[in-house]
């Protein structure tokens, strides 16, 4: 390892390692494409023209900067710290995912590849990929677990309207991890003409790094907005963690700010004790899956086990390798909230602030609702409201026993 | 000299090509694997690749995905796989066995313990699909020390510049993946294979086996004209699935297909 012990500010190293995590564990067929992507990204990430094109799209297509909203009424009800919501739900397509797909689409355009593929869980990344593909006139195929196709039918139809082919994946557990397996298989078969837009800060190097870089706009904006509005940095950051791209995007620009405490909130499902959850950082152990070494939900024989979360976007047995390292370093606290707590937060924010959050983001809200009352009224919590909740209406209605 | 090297050298001296069948351990039943291994060896297999089932076989097509699912449903673990090899060795000390799979089950087992237990069980080599040579250092040392050959893959997309690095890490033989795609895909390009093998042979003296997309005696013969060995997996695993409820028929058909592949190669 070329890194100093516990150095989390200068990651990854040249081989894509975040401490003992990350790396590039893929079949030989993909090594050339990953080398190519790494070279192109190294070059473009230093190119002011590329950065300008990215910033321009974020401003005029995505609608950035997204607001940092002081949720005064909710803060008052909770009776503690002041809560600020980073409104990624107001981005074009309704979630933070588009920050990354805009960036990767620019990379795809540069490679000249005419076809993009993506995996998706809740469908937000699939929609964001289909959107940028439509805009650039690229062919797009999205792989989605058959189980998720069922519970996220609205997003499936959105992708189809955008011109993407949605391929349901029926192997394994029929969720996000299997969608990612299938996307990797497709990529191996069509690597010459296909660009794989990975939706989170996981996968083989250089994906965890480049997805993080594209998502860091969240934290950079939030940091400045918090200084502008409060004259100081926040005391705490809270974000949900599935693969962890919205969380790393918020956290990373604050990592050197020692006064800022960070909480990554995993999906506790039916409770950690039940085993029915998707919380590898809280209850898993390190292993290798989908091209990187990280914390995983696995059994004693190293087989990946079934995960559960009410939120499809968090229903994943792994997590980005940088989170694994930040956990070991002790820089970020990883916690879990269960389905019921997330659903309660979904309802609370909707009723109290008139903002309907995604079920993924509701996990962050639920944890913040527990944290805020333990803090003083002049302290500040920034929560990443990573997506809007329209896509989850069917799930919530079903829990309420209502058919729409 | 390892059992794999000895076998490949002796074939080379006879001017023959290695037939390397692949089956998934624990498929279709845990107790089917050892009889299948014996049938393969008796019907002309020179080396046998035995798959360690994994929940997320990213480089495999539907046929082997389903085999892994069946094996895991039967409760197959890495421990089982090693005992199957051990049992096979009671009667067969000649046929080299190469375990093929993904890194995570080995990592979970523990590299030191795995190297020791695998060597003790009579395993000869290992192919870990998602372990490129860049990341293999620590494993390679342990496997070398235990006398296990670590076999690496070369793909159509592998640059000429990269081949020496893979060849330097490789032991036993190199496995050339004949096509861009997953196991069992159908787009075999014999001429492309021939050209790539010419390049590989300029760089290394290691024998080269070719796999992915070889499904019958004819494709085996075509590839055998250029390669030192051919690997046949999905075609056999498909047959095993088809006759999973009839052990005798399954063993008979697998033997038949293996003999036919042998004849194709020896023609």
- Name every residue whose Cβ is closer than 8 Å to that of residue B57 and which is 6 or more positions away in sequence: A181, B64, B65, B68, B102
CA B152 to chain centre: 11
Residue A97 annotated to the active site = yes
Q: Do A296 and B104 touch (CB under 8 A)?
A: yes
* Res A173: pLDDT: 87
Q: For residue A22, report the phi and psi dihedrals to the nearest 5 degrees.
A: 85, -135
Average of per-residue pLDDT across A191-198 = 96
- Minimum Cα–Cα distance from B71: chain A residue: A303
Average of per-residue pLDDT across A327-346 = 98
Q: Do A304 and B177 touch (CB under 8 A)?
A: no
Of the candidates B49, B117, B124, B228, the residue annotated as catalytic is B49
Q: Which residues on A lie below 8 Å from B79 (Cβ)?
A: 301
Q: What is the ipTM of this complex?
A: 0.95
Average of per-residue pLDDT across A366-390 = 98
Q: Which of B51, B108, B152, B158 to mutate to test the interface with A (most CBs of A within 10 A)?
A: B108
- Minimum Cα–Cα distance from B59: chain A residue: A185
A395 touches chain B (CB under 8 A): no
- Name every residue whose Cβ is closer than 8 Å to that of residue A180 and which is 6 or more positions away in sequence: A119, A143, A203, A290
* Res B1: pLDDT: 85
- Minimum Cα–Cα distance from B175: chain A residue: A28
* Res A361: pLDDT: 98
Of the candidates A38, A119, A298, A341, the residue annotated as catalytic is A119
* Res B195: pLDDT: 95
Exposure of A60 by Cβ count < 10 A (0-12 exposed, 13-18 middle, 19+ buried)? exposed
Q: Do B130 and A181 touch (CB under 8 A)?
A: no
Residue A119 annotated to the active site = yes
Cβ atoms < 10 Å from Cβ of B35? 16
Of the candidates A97, A113, A209, A327, the residue annotated as catalytic is A97
| CA angle, A75 then A81 then A87, to 5° | 60
A298 touches chain B (CB under 8 A): yes
Of the candidates B9, B31, B42, B60, the residue annotated as catalytic is B60
Q: What is the pLDDT of residues A125-169, one digit of tens each?
A: 999 999 999 999 999 999 999 988 987 888 999 999 999 999 999
A17 pLDDT higher than 90 = yes
Q: Which fold has domain B3-259?
A: TIM Barrel (3.20.20)
**DSSP codes of every residue in A259-308:** T-EEEEEEEEET-GGGS-SB-HHHH-EEEEETEEEEEE-B-TTSPBPP--
* Res A149: pLDDT: 92
| Mean pLDDT (10-residue bins), chain B, 267 residues | 95 97 98 98 98 96 96 98 98 98 98 98 98 92 97 96 96 94 82 95 97 93 96 97 98 98 95
Return the percentage of chain A with pLDDT > 90, whole number. Answer: 92
- Using the structure block, give the residue that is written with the tokens 């795809």: A108
Q: Which residues on B lie below 8 Å from A291 (Cβ)?
A: 130
**Per-residue tokens: A8:** 């989390």
* Res B180: pLDDT: 85
A391 pLDDT higher than 70 = yes
Give A195→chain B minimum CA distance, Å: 15
CA B207 to chain centre: 14
* Res A1: pLDDT: 42
Q: Tell me the pLDDT of chain A averaged across its residues.
A: 96
- Minimum Cα–Cα distance from B64: chain A residue: A171
Which A positions 260-289 lie with beta carbon below 8 A of chain B?
A: 287-289
Q: Do B155 and A25 touch (CB under 8 A)?
A: no
Return the percentage of chain A with pLDDT > 70, whole number. Answer: 99
Q: What is the pLDDT of residues A53-82, one digit of tens each?
A: 999 999 999 999 999 999 999 999 999 999
To 10 degrees, what angle do helices A97-111 and A207-215 make?
A: 120
Whether residue A204 contacts residue A24, with contact meaning beta carbons closer than 8 Å, is answered with yes
pLDDT band at A5 (very low <50, low <70, confident <90, very high): low
A2 pLDDT higher than 50 = no
Q: Which residues on B lie below 8 Å from A33 (Cβ)?
A: 157
Q: Do B182 and A190 touch (CB under 8 A)?
A: no
Reference B211, options B201, B66, B228; nearest CA is B228
- Minimum Cα–Cα distance from B129: chain A residue: A27
Q: Do B180 and A189 touch (CB under 8 A)?
A: yes
* Res A6: pLDDT: 79
Exposure of A116 by Cβ count < 10 A (0-12 exposed, 13-18 middle, 19+ buried)? buried
Q: Which residues on A lie below 8 Å from B153 (Cβ)?
A: 27-28
Whether a cis peptide bond, with omega within 30° of 0, leads into A65 is yes
A40 pLDDT higher than 80 = yes
Q: Which residues on B lie below 8 Å from A304 (Cβ)?
A: 55-56, 104
The contact set of B with A (CB < 8 A) is 54-62, 65, 69, 72, 77-79, 102-109, 129-132, 134-135, 152-159, 162, 166, 177, 180-182, 185
Give A32→chain B minimum CA distance, Å: 6
**DSSP codes of every residue in A327-343:** HHHTSEEEEEEEHHHHH
Q: Do B108 and A23 touch (CB under 8 A)?
A: no
- Using the structure block, give the residue that is written with the tokens 């000390």: B93
Give B179→chain A minimum CA distance, Å: 8
Q: What is the pLDDT of residues A237-275, one digit of tens each?
A: 999 999 999 999 999 999 999 999 999 999 999 999 999
Q: Which of A31, A191, A289 has its CB closest to that of B180?
A: A191
Q: Which helix (H) or strand (E) holds B27?
A: none
């Amino acid at each position: 390892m070329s890194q100093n012990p516990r150095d989390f500010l200068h990651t990854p190293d040249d081989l894509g390692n975040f401490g003992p995590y990350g790396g590039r564990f893929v079949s030989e067929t993909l090594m050339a494409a990953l080398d190519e992507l790494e070279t192109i990204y190294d070059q473009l990430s230093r190119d002011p023209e590329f950065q300008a094109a990215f910033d321009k799209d974020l401003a005029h297509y995505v609608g950035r900067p997204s607001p940092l909203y002081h949720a005064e009424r909710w803060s008052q009800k909770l009776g503690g710290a002041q809560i600020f919501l980073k409104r990624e739900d107001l981005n074009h397509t309704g979630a933070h995912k588009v920050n990354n797909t805009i960036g990767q689409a620019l990379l795809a355009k540069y490679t000249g590849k005419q076809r993009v593929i993506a995996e998706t869980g809740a469908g937000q990344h699939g929609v964001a990929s289909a959107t940028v593909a439509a805009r650039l006139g690229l062919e797009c195929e999205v792989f989605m677990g058959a189980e998720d196709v069922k519970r996220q039918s609205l997003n499936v139809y959105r992708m189809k309207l955008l011109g993407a082919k949605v391929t349901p994946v029926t192997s394994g557990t029929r969720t996000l991890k299997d969608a990612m397996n299938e996307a990797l298989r497709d990529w191996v078969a069509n690597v010459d003409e296909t660009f794989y837009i990975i939706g989170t800060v996981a996968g083989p190097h250089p994906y965890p790094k480049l997805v993080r870089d594209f998502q860091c706009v969240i934290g950079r904006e939030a940091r400045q907005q918090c200084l502008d509005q409060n004259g100081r940095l926040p005391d705490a950051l809270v974000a949900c963690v599935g693969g962890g791209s919205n969380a790393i995007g918020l956290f990373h620009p604050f990592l050197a700010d020692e006064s800022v405490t960070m909480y990554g909130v995993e999906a506790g499902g039916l409770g950690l004790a039940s085993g029915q959850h998707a919380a590898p950082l809280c209850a898993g152990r390190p292993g290798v899956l989908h091209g990187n070494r990280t914390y995983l939900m696995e059994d004693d024989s190293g087989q990946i086990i079934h995960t559960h979360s009410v939120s499809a976007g968090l229903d994943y047995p792994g997590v980005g390798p940088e989170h694994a390292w930040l956990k070991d370093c002790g820089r970020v606290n990883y916690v879990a909230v269960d389905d019921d707590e997330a659903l309660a937060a979904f309802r609370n924010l909707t009723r109290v602030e008139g903002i309907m959050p995604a079920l993924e983001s509701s996990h962050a809200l639920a944890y913040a609702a527990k944290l805020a009352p333990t803090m003083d009224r002049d302290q500040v919590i920034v929560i990443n409201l990573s997506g809007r909740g329209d896509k989850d209406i069917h799930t919530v209605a079903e829990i309420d026993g209502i058919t729409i | 000299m390892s059992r794999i090297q000895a076998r490949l050298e002796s074939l080379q001296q006879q001017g023959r090509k290695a037939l390397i069948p692949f089956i998934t351990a624990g498929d279709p039943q845990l107790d089917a694997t050892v009889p299948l291994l014996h049938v393969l060896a008796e019907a002309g297999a020179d080396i046998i690749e035995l798959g360690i089932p994994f929940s997320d076989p990213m480089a495999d097509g539907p046929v082997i995905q389903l085999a892994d699912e069946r094996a895991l449903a039967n409760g197959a673990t890495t421990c089982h796989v090693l005992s199957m090899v051990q049992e096979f060795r009671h009667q067969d000390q000649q046929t080299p066995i190469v375990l093929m799979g993904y890194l995570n089950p080995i990592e979970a087992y523990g590299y030191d313990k795995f190297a020791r237990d695998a060597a003790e069980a009579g395993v000869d080599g290992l192919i870990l699909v998602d372990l490129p040579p860049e990341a293999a250092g620590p494993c390679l040392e342990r496997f070398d020390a235990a006398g296990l050959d670590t076999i690496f893959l070369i793909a159509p997309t592998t640059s000429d510049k990269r081949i020496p690095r893979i060849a330097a890490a490789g032991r036993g033989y190199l496995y050339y993946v004949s096509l861009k795609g997953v196991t069992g895909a159908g787009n075999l390009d014999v001429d492309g294979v021939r050209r790539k093998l010419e390049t590989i042979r300029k760089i290394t003296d290691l024998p080269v086996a070719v796999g992915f997309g070889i499904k019958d005696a004819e494709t085996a013969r075509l590839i055998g004209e250029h390669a030192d060995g051919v690997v046949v997996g999905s075609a056999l695993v498909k047959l095993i699935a088809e006759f999973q409820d009839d052990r005798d028929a399954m063993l008979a058909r697998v033997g038949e297909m293996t003999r036919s592949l042998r004849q194709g190669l020896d023609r």
